[in-house]
């Protein structure tokens, strides 16, 4: 292990965590909430600048963490994503001499023997390896047509070579992140919902898979097979004769980067169409193939103009590269994900609850009725809005929404299933890319046709099991309705009908707590001032007692209160 590297990573995150505790937990509880709010943007910017500098200097897994955060433009503040977005292009390359030495040792021959040309300048430098353009000595046959016919061969390739000593660097970075994960796991609201060490263990497994280029080549071929019937999607071919565990040679398919908006517009490519195709392709990966590209950051997605385009591809291709990080959807999660998509598309809160249960997202203590009300209200207020429209939602409306459901917000009865963590990460990055392509991109418009497709039977368009399930659900509701109505009328006649108003109860509880804090603050001031006066007068014993009482009083004021029911 590289101990100085380990210490640098852990010390950085320790400073960030302690800073958050000081600014976001301690200061607001002693009446400095305004100070916290007014300095938040600059503090976040400085933290992002510091992380970016560290990631660029150190490389390795830190780059991957930064790339993930930079793609979360739909959730994270712009001050963070803007600062980290340059990480996509700022990874420092290895020297050509080091890359050449490693590649020749792996391939067992000189580069001049294997390639007609090999560019000494890297095309791209990633966190775990870097890519160089090259030309083969003999054209490589390409078999991409659905009927298996051989198309024109190619000689232009890219060669991906691992960074020297990358395994030792990964070992150190993951050990440091594991330490930080154990710190975060001590925070109960997080530990209740996610097993951070287990998630980091899964992340470690996937990261080590990324440095197995033989596995990456097989992943690329699996994707090519899955999209063989979709000519608008491009997957590079693998040159197996020039590939080992640490060197990967692929067909050169690099084109317009998916975040190069000016180049797309200059080529006459509709950015909204790119966002729609990207989401549609991922819907197939998740719901049909159960095998998805789990690292869709902008450096791995391209738009390729096709001069002689037709109706099948609209004059351009959506191109994927880098298949080192892939994910699979477990069999037990597919039904839940389908239910979730249908529930979102049909605005059905009941289906959403059923999906959460199938996916084991809800904690056992969750109030299902309250969660369902929350879903219904969220559909009414926010369904159909684009990400830009959601960002522009009035603050008072969001505050009112949070206030109405503050019980569920306080409890946060959700957890992160380990099997779905990389799917969640992928969808998060995808959301950010689609929003960047077109600010008015409406995710709802994309999922509605696909949800309808899931409902229909694959053969005849009529899903008998689905409609039988729906009919049984409706009959169950109708069967119980007269009994429920009779019970309500009976309570009204007897004067036993009780209407619960949780909002009023919570408001009274909040007022009671506020009064107690005022009294506690006055008591703290009294103990502190008298203790200081006695200390100055030389009465050390009595002053010590009063100052200790003041400290206890202050602790009572700033520590989180337990929820009383």
Q: What is residue 407's three-state secondary structure?
A: helix
3-state helix, strand, coil in the chain (%, to 5): 65, 10, 25
- Whether residue 119 lies in the annotated active site: no
The DSSP 8-state label assigned to residue 362 in this structure reads: B
Beta carbons of 123 and 133 less than 8 angstroms apart: yes
Burial 391-412 (b: 16+ CB within 10 A, else e): eeeeeeeeeebeeebebbeebe
Return the structure tokens found at 430: 């995808």
3-state DSSP call for residue 151?
strand
Report the alpha-carbon distance of residue 57 to residue 146 in Å, rounded: 46
Q: How many CB atoms lie within 10 A of CB 315?
A: 17
The token duo for 218 is: 């097989």
Question: What is the spatial distance between Cα 398 and Cα 74, in angstroms, rounded to a whole number?
Answer: 16
Q: Are 475 and 421 in contact (CB under 8 A)?
A: no
Residue whose token pair is 């050449």 = 100
Q: Which of 289, 295, 310, 314 is catalytic?
A: 295
Residue 60 near residue 169, CB atoms below 8 Å: yes
Residues 495, 488: Cα–Cα separation, whole Å: 11
First to last CA, the chain: 50
Q: Which long-range contacts (CB under 8 A, 24 or more apart) does 426-431 make?
A: 426/282, 426/292, 426/293, 426/294, 426/295, 426/296, 426/327, 427/282, 428/68, 428/71, 428/72, 428/74, 428/75, 429/68, 429/71, 429/72, 429/296, 429/297, 430/278, 430/279, 430/282, 430/296, 431/74, 431/387
3-state secondary structure 230-291: CCCEECCCECHHHCCCCEEEEECCCCEECCCHHHHHHCCCCHHHHHHHHHHHHHHHHHHHCE
Task: Determine contact, residues 122/136, Cβ cutoff 8 Å.
Answer: no
Given a contact cutoff of 8 angstroms between Cβ atoms, the answer to whether 433 and 71 are in contact is yes
Task: Say which residue the tokens 């400095």 belong to.
Answer: 32
Give bridge partners of residue 234 from the DSSP assignment.
319
C-alpha–C-alpha distance, residues 215 and 228, integer Å: 20
Pairwise CA distance, residues 498 & 484, whole Å: 15
Q: Which residues are catalytic?
A: 295
């Amino acid at each position: 292990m590289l101990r100085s590297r380990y210490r640098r990573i852990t010390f950085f995150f320790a400073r960030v965590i302690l800073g958050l505790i000081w600014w976001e937990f301690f200061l607001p509880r002693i009446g400095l909430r305004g100070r916290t709010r007014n300095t938040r943007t600059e503090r976040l910017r400085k933290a992002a600048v510091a992380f970016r500098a560290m990631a660029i200097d150190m490389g390795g897994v830190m780059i991957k963490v930064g790339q993930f955060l930079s793609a979360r433009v739909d959730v994270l503040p712009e001050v963070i994503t803007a600062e980290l977005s340059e990480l996509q292009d700022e990874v420092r390359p290895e020297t050509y001499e080091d890359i050449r030495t490693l590649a020749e040792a792996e391939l067992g021959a000189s580069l001049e023997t294997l390639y007609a040309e090999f560019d000494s300048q890297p095309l791209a430098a990633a966190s775990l390896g870097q890519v160089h353009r090259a030309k083969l000595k003999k054209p490589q046959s390409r078999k991409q047509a659905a009927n298996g016919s051989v198309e024109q061969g190619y000689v232009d390739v890219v060669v991906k070579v691992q960074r020297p000593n990358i395994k030792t660097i990964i070992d150190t970075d993951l050990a440091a992140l594991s330490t930080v994960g154990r710190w975060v796991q001590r925070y109960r609201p997080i530990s209740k919902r996610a097993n951070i060490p287990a998630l980091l263990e899964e992340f470690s497994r996937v990261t080590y898979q990324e440095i197995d280029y033989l596995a990456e080549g097989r992943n690329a071929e699996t994707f090519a097979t899955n999209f063989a019937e979709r000519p608008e999607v491009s997957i590079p071919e693998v040159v197996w004769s020039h590939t080992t565990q640490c060197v990967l040679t692929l067909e050169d398919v690099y084109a317009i980067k998916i975040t190069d908006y000016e180049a797309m517009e200059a080529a006459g490519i509709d950015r909204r169409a790119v966002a729609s195709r990207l989401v549609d392709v991922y819907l197939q990966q998740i719901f049909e193939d159960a095998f998805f590209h789990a690292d869709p950051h902008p450096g791995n997605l391209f738009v390729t103009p096709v001069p002689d385009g037709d109706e099948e591809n609209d004059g351009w291709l959506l191109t994927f590269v880098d298949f080192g990080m892939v994910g699979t959807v477990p069999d037990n999660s597919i039904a839940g994900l389908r239910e979730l998509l249908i529930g979102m598309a049909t605005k059905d809160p009941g289906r959403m609850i059923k999906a959460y249960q199938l996916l084991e997202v809800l904690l056992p203590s969750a109030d299902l009725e309250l969660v369902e009300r929350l879903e219904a209200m969220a559909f009414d207020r926010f369904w159909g809005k684009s990400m830009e429209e959601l960002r522009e939602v009035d603050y008072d409306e969001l505050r009112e929404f949070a206030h109405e459901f503050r019980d569920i917000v306080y409890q946060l009865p959700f957890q992160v299933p380990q099997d779905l963590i990389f799917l969640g990460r992928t969808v998060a990055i995808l959301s950010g890319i689609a929003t960047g392509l077109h600010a008015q991109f409406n995710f709802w418009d994309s999922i509605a046709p696909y949800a309808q497709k899931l409902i229909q039977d694959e053969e005849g368009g009529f899903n008998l099991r689905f409609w039988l399930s729906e009919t049984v659900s409706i009959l169950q509701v109708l069967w119980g309705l007269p009994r429920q109505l009779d019970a309500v009328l009976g309570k009204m006649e007897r004067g036993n009908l009780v209407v619960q108003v949780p909002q009023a109860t919570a408001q009274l509880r909040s007022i009671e707590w506020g009064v107690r804090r005022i009294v506690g603050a006055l008591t703290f001031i009294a103990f502190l001032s008298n203790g200081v006066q006695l200390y100055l007068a030389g009465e050390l014993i009595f002053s010590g007692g009063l100052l200790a009482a003041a400290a206890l009083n202050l602790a009572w004021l700033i520590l989180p209160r337990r929820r009383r029911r």
